[in-house]
Amino acid sequence: MTDTLLHLCPRDEWDRARDAGALTPLSLSETGFVHLSTPAQVHLPANRLFAGRTDLLLLHVDPSALTDPVRYEPGVPEDPESMRFPHLYGLLPVGAVVAVTEYLPGADGRFARL
């Protein structure tokens, strides 16, 4: 477990969430959860889903501020077999986000491990 969880999102998605009071990404309606990552694993989904994008933010989430359950579950088959990703089964409240930082790729378009 970790003290801080991360959620990747484009800047415009975060702007809408701040206005609404909670983040409701498409994954919530598709899978029933919000994808989160630990700092050690966030580069994996970033490279898989967002390679080369320069509009990404890392939302730093305080897990103790979440009211819905977080379950650590397997990612995709390409991820290391023992790796489990935190999934939030509910909305991500803006108040649970304790910091927001840019997450920029390197010159090759790939995101580095934090």
Distance CA 54, CA 47 (A): 12
Residue at 113 is within a domain:
no
Residue at 32 is within a domain:
yes
Cβ partners under 8 Å of residue 46, min gap 6 = 8, 56, 103, 105, 111
Residue at 16 is within a domain:
yes
Radius of gyration for the chain, computed over Cα atoms and rounded to the nearest angstrom: 13
pLDDT per residue, tens digit, the chain (114 aa), is 458 999 999 999 999 999 999 999 888 889 999 999 999 999 999 999 999 999 999 999 999 999 999 999 998 888 787 899 999 999 999 999 999 999 999 999 999 999
Q: What is the CATH number of the domain that holds 11?
A: 3.20.170.20
Residue at 66 is within a domain:
yes
Residue at 111 is within a domain:
no
Residue 97 domain boundaries: 5-102
What's the structural domain count of the chain? 1
Residue at 108 is within a domain:
no
Residue at 109 is within a domain:
no
